[in-house]
Amino acid sequence: MHTGIISFADRIVYNIKSNEMKDIILEQINTLYNIKIIQKHYYKLDENNVKYITRNPHLCTLRTNGNPYYMFFTLYNDIPIIYFIDKKVHPGYQKPRILLARGMFSESLFKNTLIDGEMVKTVNKKWLFLMNDIISFEGKFLRNEQLPDRLKLLYNLLETKYVPDKIMDVCTYKIKTYYQTSRQSIEKLIEISKTLNYTCRGIYIWSYDLKYKPKLFNFNEDNIINVVRKVKDETSFKVLSSSESSDYSNNTKSGNNTGNTTTEDNSENTSGNTSGNITGNTSLINSISKMKENTIREQLETNIKYNKIQIEEIERNKLEEFYKESTEYKEYKEYKNCKEGERILWICKTEDPDVYNIYDNENKTNLLGNALVSSLDTSKMMRIAFKNTNVATLLKIKCSYNTTFNKWLPIEIL
């Protein structure tokens, strides 16, 4: 992979320079999720799509002035890797920028997990990756999952499949806060945007259905910051100042970590936004506020129902996960997967080639005889399974009883 060193979120990362390699990655995303980077990823809010919003459930959230990226967890030559894929092509480039990053994320995520978000720089020069949505989770395309369920997956991901690490992380990871779509919510979001420690340009109105693009309402055109890079990537290393070096050393020694898995931070009232108004867009907001009463009721009922069962669902899921990790459940599943004439047995090798002893339990209290190894495929399967074991090691193996030889034939290593 042809890469170069560049600065990203005030850290040094690798940038993919080969257009051929970029094409492979972009084609993979297009094939799996029908996403083309060169396409516009949102629609501007207008009178036409307001009608659609009034008929279908949506949530709304702030659109920052940060640069939009896809965060793609995948494998490259069987090595886990994170790609930050710019959602637009900058002037002077033929392809979007794709950066390589690392992090303490669960290995299961690298079966193709795709997250939509924005990279934001706060007024105190900290970097945040604010997650909007998750498109694929551990290889499963979430096109049939509703937005509240997808957001729940994101929270679970950061809570259980990620460990913050000040050295490896290029930024802090957070999830955006969503609200029910209404005039009051939009006005409240505008007020909230003034208290954040980063700037915002508008509000995303996000459909529950993944196949529909979000609608963007710019509440203040003057507050839009152009994130298109006017210069080529800077490839020189940066040197920490003495004060920064001291702060970093102290944080490392004290165990402080900037990694965070909460929602958007509005605790720092630092006038990140200088103004926010709805001038020129009153008619659109009025259209939203005039939604049919039954549509509003349906949306609220959906939201209330989701919130009501969320705690019960989490508790039930925890119990189910605990049970699924138990020996009893695993043995039950193995038993249910056995066909007539099949059993789960315990096998160990002997000093002789292709001679294996079979027991009906892991305590070796009941020897059933020797396994039937009558074919080259079976012999190869057993040799691979017992390659790094000794004669005392027992392996759990599904077997089928052969009535001709009156022996158990190993068919699957468990």
- The answer, yes or no, to whether residue 329 has pLDDT greater than 80, is no
Q: How many CA atoms lie within 13 A of 267 on its CB side?
A: 3
- The answer, yes or no, to whether residue 224 has pLDDT greater than 50, is yes
CB 142 within 8 A of CB 162: no
Report pLDDT for 301. 54
- The answer, yes or no, to whether residue 205 has pLDDT greater than 80, is yes
Q: Which of 64-78, 112-126, 298-312 has the lowest mean pLDDT?
A: 298-312
CA distance 256 to 279: 44
Report pLDDT for 266. 45
| Strand ranges, E, within 77-193 | 79-86, 98-101, 104-105, 113-121, 127-137, 140-141, 162-163, 172-175, 179-180
Handedness of CA 192, 197, 199, 203 (dihedral sign): negative
Higher pLDDT, 315 or 364: 364
Whole-number Cα distances in Å, 81 to 78, 104, 110, 254, 331: 9, 11, 7, 29, 35
Report pLDDT for 310. 54
CA distance 146 to 208: 5
- Dihedrals phi, psi of 125, to nearest 5 degrees: 65, 35
Higher pLDDT, 39 or 144: 144
- The answer, yes or no, to whether residue 183 has pLDDT greater than 60, is yes
- Dihedrals phi, psi of 181, to nearest 5 degrees: -75, 120
Find the mean pLDDT for residues 21-30. 92
Which range of 46-55, 179-188, 240-249 scores highest in mean pLDDT? It is 179-188
Written as six digits, the tokens of 115 are 């997250």
Which range of 19-33, 49-63, 336-350 scores highest in mean pLDDT? It is 19-33
Written as six digits, the tokens of 400 are 């089928």
Report pLDDT for 242. 45
pLDDT band for 250, please (50, 70, 90 cuts): very low
* Core vs surface per residue 296-322: b (16+ CB within 10 A) or e: beebeeebeeeeeeeeeeeeeeeeeee
Written as six digits, the tokens of 51 are 């009608």
What is the residue-wise DSSP string for 308-371? HHHHHHHHHHHHHHHHHTSHHHHHHHHHHT--TTEEEEEEEE-SSTT-EEEESSTT--SEEEE-
pLDDT digits (tens, 9 = 90+) for 272-325: 444 444 444 555 666 565 554 445 455 555 555 555 455 555 555 655 555 455
- The answer, yes or no, to whether residue 133 has pLDDT greater than 80, is yes
Report pLDDT for 218. 83
